[in-house]
Amino acid sequence: MVPSSIINLTNHEVLHNKTLCQVDYFFFIGSVFLSVWLLAVVSIERVIVVIFHRKPTWLFLSSLILFFAIFYLFTFIYGLLTDTIKPSRLWNYCFITAESKAGGVILSMISILSTLTILIVIISYTSIAIYVLKVNLDVRNKTTEYGNGSSKNIRRAFIRMILTVIAYIITNSFEIGLELREISVLQERSLLEELICSVMQMFNVMVNSTIILISNEQASENFWKLVRFWKSND
CATH of residue 174's domain is 1.20.1070.10
How far apart, in whole angstroms, are the C-alpha atoms of residue 156 and residue 13? 49
Q: What is the pLDDT of residue 10?
A: 57
Q: What is the pLDDT of residue 67?
A: 94
In a domain, 73, yes or no: yes
- Which value, to the nearest 10 degrees, does the dihedral of the CA atoms of residues 161, 166, 172, 177 take? 150
Q: What is the pLDDT along the chain (234 residues), one digit of tens a residue?
A: 445 445 555 555 666 788 888 888 888 877 788 888 888 998 999 899 889 989 899 999 999 999 999 998 998 998 889 888 888 877 778 888 877 787 888 888 888 898 899 899 899 988 988 888 887 777 666 665 555 556 666 777 777 778 888 888 888 888 888 888 877 777 777 888 888 887 887 787 788 878 777 777 777 777 777 777 777 776
Q: What is the pLDDT of residue 1?
A: 46
Span between the terminal Cα atoms of the chain, in Å: 32
In a domain, 132, yes or no: yes
Q: What is the pLDDT of residue 2?
A: 45
Q: What is the pLDDT of residue 70?
A: 93
Residue-number span of the structural domain to which 128 is assigned: 4-220
Judge whether 107 and 139 are in contact, CB under 8 Å: no
How far apart, in whole angstroms, are the C-alpha atoms of residue 122 and residue 119? 5
In a domain, 228, yes or no: no
In a domain, 65, yes or no: yes
Q: What is the pLDDT of residue 5?
A: 47
229 Cβ contact list (under 8 Å, min separation 6): none
In a domain, 98, yes or no: yes
In a domain, 92, yes or no: yes
In a domain, 229, yes or no: no
Q: What is the pLDDT of residue 11?
A: 56
Judge whether 63 and 97 are in contact, CB under 8 Å: no
Domain total for the chain?
A: 1
40 Cβ contact list (under 8 Å, min separation 6): 64, 116, 117, 118, 120, 121, 124
Q: What is the pLDDT of residue 8?
A: 52
34 Cβ contact list (under 8 Å, min separation 6): 68, 69, 72
Q: What is the pLDDT of residue 63?
A: 95
In a domain, 81, yes or no: yes
